[in-house]
Structure 1
Amino acid sequence: MVEAYILLTSAIGKVREVYDKIEKLEDVENVRIVTGPFDLIVLAEAEDLSTLTNTVVEGIRETDGVLDTNTAIVVE
């Protein structure tokens, strides 16, 4: 298993909408709306790196309202 924390920036006024869409993605384990330089933090867990990459690139980044992502893969 591969885990990653994805830090998201969303469009103004779209945080709740982005949250609702992202929490439904298959490999997403947890989503939190936060304060600070990012709007949401997502914990994703996938079978392998390729699947995780697809979740981030084709799932999260393609979600309407997502402006930017920063992915931190868990190594230990």
Structure 2
Amino acid sequence: MVEAFMLIQTEVGRADVIAKQLADLPGVLSAEYVTGPYDVVVRVGADSLDELQAGVVPNVQQVVGVTRTLTCPIAGRVRP
């Protein structure tokens, strides 16, 4: 499985509503609304990078109120 974090900017005052909508999308593993330069952070996953880029990412970007995204594929994990 390929996973990525998506950093998302939203319309003002809609981060919590949009995070809840994103949490229900296929391929979204988790969604949180945060403070700082981005409003929502989601963790997404798919069977391949192509599937992630062609299906999951565009579905997130098409949610009404999402104004900008930055997708950061996970290169590796550090286990304690």
- Paired with 2:33 and 2:72, the residues of 1 have a C-alpha distance of 17
Report the TM-score, using the length of structure 2 for normalisation.
0.88
Q: Which amino acid aligns with 1:29?
A: L
Q: Offset at 1:70?
A: 0.4
Partner of 2:56: 55
Structure 2 Cα separation of the partners of residues 5 and 74 of structure 1: 7
Q: Which runs of 5+ in 2 are unaligned?
A: none
Which structure 1 residue ranges, 5 or more long, are not aligned? none
Q: TM-score, with normalisation over the residues of structure 1?
A: 0.93
- In structure 1, give the amino acid aligned to 2:64: D
Identity of aligned residues (%): 29
Confirm or deny that 1:39 pairs with 2:10.
no
The alignment partner of 1:42 has SS state of strand
Letter in 2 for 1:45: G
Aligned residues, how many?
75
Deviates more, 1:48-57 or 1:22-31: 48-57
